[in-house]
Amino acid sequence: MISGGEASFLDDVSRLDAEAICQACGACCAFSREWPRFSLESDEALELIPAKFVDDANGRMKCDGERCSALVGDVGVKASCAVYAVRPDVCRTCQPGDVECLMARRHYNL
Interacting residues of 95 by C-beta distance below 8 A, sequence separation 6+: 18, 101
SS (H, E, C) the chain: CCCHHHHHHHHHHHHCCHHHHHHCCCHHHCCCCCCCECCCCCHHHHHCCCHHHEEHHHCEECEECCEECCEEEECCCEEEECCHHHCCHHHHHCCCCCHHHHHHHHHCCC
pLDDT given at position 14? 54
pLDDT band at 35 (very low <50, low <70, confident <90, very high): confident
pLDDT given at position 30? 94
23/55: higher pLDDT? 55
53/94: higher pLDDT? 53
Task: Mean pLDDT check: name the lowest of 18-27, 52-61, 80-89.
Answer: 18-27
What's the predicted TM-score (pTM) here? Answer: 0.76
pLDDT band at 94 (very low <50, low <70, confident <90, very high): confident
